[in-house]
Amino acid sequence: MRAEVINPFLESACSVIEQVIQVSPSTGSLGVKDIMPVQDHIWIQIDMTGYFSGMVMFGLKETVALRIVSAMMGGFVLTEMDEMGQSAISELGNMISGNASTILSNQGYVVDITPPRVIKSEQENHSGVPRKALCIPLHMDGIGELDIQVLIS
C-alpha cells in the first residue's frame, strides 16, 4: 500500500466537508487498520478500478452521520438514518470520491469509481482474514469524526 493514494481522498474530503457542512475538519494521524465492523457505525463503500484497484470506505458513527445529514439539509434535524438520510450520506461519499478521482487523474492515475454503497455495521458479515487499509481520521468540531480508509490491492 502506498500512503500517497490516501492524500487525494483526504484533500477532497476536507474541501467537500467545508463546502457542504461549513466545518473545517482537522486531520488525525495516518495509520493502518483492519477493516472490520464497528458497532453503531455506518460505512460508505466506493470501489475503484483502473490504475488503482481497491476501495475507499468512509466510516462514521451513526450519530455523526445524522449530524452531517442534518447540516447538509440546512439544519433539519434527523433522529434516525432513514432512506433520505442514507441517500444524503451516500452522496457525500460520492462527492468526495468523485473529486478524489479527478485529483488522481490530474496526477496521471486514471481510476473509475462505483456508486456508493451504504452499509450499517450490523449488515456486514466479515469472515475470513481481516484486510488492512490505510486510515486517517477527520475531526469535525461539533459534529464528530469521519474515518477515511483506503484499501488498494
The model's pTM: 0.89
Q: Residue 77 half-sphere exposure, CB side, CA atoms within 13 Å?
A: 1
The residues pairing with 44 across neighbouring beta strands, listed in sequence order, are 58, 118
Question: pLDDT in tens for each of the 153 residues of the chain?
Answer: 566 788 999 999 999 999 999 999 999 999 988 877 677 899 999 999 999 899 999 999 999 999 999 999 888 888 889 999 999 999 999 999 999 999 999 999 999 999 999 998 655 544 455 678 899 999 999 999 999 999 987
Sequence-ordered alpha helix ranges (H) in 1-135: 7-21, 62-72, 83-106
In the DSSP assignment, the letter for residue 51 is: S
Domain harbouring 51, CATH code: 3.40.1550.10
Domain limits for position 22: 3-152
The total domain count for the chain is 1
